Structure 1
Amino acid sequence: MSYLAYQFKDVPVGFRKLLFLNWPVVFLITAVSGFGFLMLYSVAGGSMNPWVTPQVQRFGLGLAVMVSMAMVPIWFWRNMAVVGYLVALILLVAVDIVGVERNGSQRWLDLRFMDFQPSEMMKITLIMLLAAYYDWLPLSKVSKPVWILVPLLFIAAPAYLVLSQPDLGTTILLVSGGGAIMFLAGVHWAYFATVIGAVIGLVTAVFQSRGTGWQVLKDYQYRRIDTFIDPTQDPLGAGYHITQAKIALGSGGWTGRGYMQGTQSRLNFLPEKHTDFIFTTLAEEFGFLGAFGLLILYALIIIFCVQSAVTNKDRFASLITMGVAVTFFLFFSVNMAMVMGLAPVVGVPLPLVSYGGSAMLVLMVAFGLVQSAHVHKPR
């Protein structure tokens, strides 16, 4: 690519920068989104409305935003990290005051032309802020306790606001993504081992306390855990969603029932078939091979992002690229684990495939940062 850029050195800078784009990532993102358009068309019963048309429009807008952001020097995004984080934090507070409530959760702001979910924005601005913080902080201070408290506060503030919405899935992603940035920045592993040990101890205490005088959770909360472990205990109640998802996953077999032939989705047995549970529709219609193909595309996106990060000599650019890659991995791994019954149903969409304006646009902004880091890395 550098050779091509040299050959076109007389071309205006803006056009020449296009040669430095991480084009494999662009093509892979488009391919995954194409999967999404096909599945949304299927779950709509062979119609472009109500989901495919707006999703295509959002992807087109997101693609334009991604390329535009790639043309902007990475130092600009470093300088905007604090501003972006504060704006996202203010919007999260606004959600608590004037947010739109749906299904018992207050997570959205009504922008008239679309409902915007500030917690999606926070996933990216938190990564930006932590990357900028560790770019500024000398390596000798990274593992000092006093300097660890600052990023913990950066993570804790939005995590508390999102958890109170309530949105457990996004809270997990915020904490995990922030922790990943701290680990990649060089924070000593002993801190993470301590946290993991504390979590294991807490979970053990929760289970051991059941039926005792110091029981930690309420009885109904333990029943929810029982239903998660064995959905057949309440197949028509709390276990209904995951039971139907497993039926769809299993009935797909190796090659699937065929495009638009999935009975679970077409007969409306699947819940949220166009958002959280869209992966089960894909697995039912295209089988193991189709689901594995999507996984390969996801894996390739991460591989190209990691390759770009490890070859980038700019610390902020490298950290933000790795941060986006980790967050992207958490997106699809949590969603797939959720619909397969390996994790609780926490409402995490499948990236670039599930229907949703905020998730699509914010993810394209994240890849815009990755592209900016790649285009402007020292060569």
Structure 2
Amino acid sequence: MSPRAGNTGTPLRAPATLAFVESPVQLLNVLEWAHLHELRGAGGTGVGPLTPVVPPQLRRSPAGEPPPPAPELTLVVLSPTDPMTRGQLRRMADLARDEGYRVRWEEARGGTTAPFHTIGGLAGALRRADRIVMGDPFSRYVQLLLTITRAKELVVVDDGTATMEFVVQLARGERLVRWHRKGGRPGPRDLFFAPVSSSARRRLTPRGGRRVEVFSSMPMEETPPGVTVTANDFAWTRARFGPPRITKGADMVGTSLVETGVVDGDRYLEAVRTLARAHGATRYFAHRRENTGKLHRLATETDLEIVRPDLPLELIARRGPIGRTILSFPSTVVHTLPLALAGTGVKVAVCDIDPAWLTENASPRAQGFLSGVTGTARDVHRLAAVTTVTTVTAATGPV
């Protein structure tokens, strides 16, 4: 656990706004949302520069004086078990504290009793908070917490391509299920949590004076009635980092499509090798969910330098150095990187997924969804899917 983290399981004083995050990108987008809405940090003076502040939980009040008021925004990290994700979350949590926000680190998955301690420590604050911010409405943890809150304002901040699917499902009144699992038969856990998921969907539907906002950089195919959609243009990222130093070569962005069972591992390795040779890529920025065995194969069979970022790629790219061209497969970054790198001259190029790469277990919607991710991206260059180990055809001009 981070040495600056809050105390897991202890009662939390209710802030006006309570945010729940489970990934580094979600935490980044909470900071972007707070920057846009000019929420106060612990110091009460608005979002300030990246200078260290004393975390509220370490402050002492003189005897007889009341403690300082709760900050306008408190971030709760529902920590996963994956070491790579935890490391990035710690770094992002430190940035949030440096912005003046209180961060509470919860070992939410640290054993069979951890959920009970986490929920028990958060229940009071959940009931009293005016506004709840969440990064992943598909998370069973978040859905369970939503059954406790009485907040009249709910905000979903960007979690990449999942946000696109969430908005469509909410607009159509469908059950909340991640895109790469859609089309499969519900398992026992899905059936067990079905009432909780249904309750979360109802709470995320504006009614009875309850307001719902979606804060996203992703294109929205459908907008649910009554939902406010606010654009995320990465203003906080651009204000705090860069502009980066641009190198002459190309960098490649990894994806977890193999790990989620969508794309065949051998086909993926072949595509990476072909793209790297065709465009002169030298570095491969690994997705935090990519497993070490796959990355070892990529390093030995492609000669790419494997980089494990310690922050979300939007911040890594903005901080630099970064290649003049960034190669990617369909993913969130084909939407976010052009925004974070606006005005720098860096080109983002995306390679389509060939249907032959898909596994037999891939969702029936996988190809259409991934094509939609690419097709709706702005300010990127399109690359045709790699069909052999030697052929890559580039489209002309930006999309």
Could you say which TM-score interval applies, normalised by the shorter chain? under 0.3
Q: TM-score, normalised by structure 1?
A: 0.22
The structure that is strand-richer by fraction is 2
Q: TM-score, normalised by structure 2?
A: 0.22
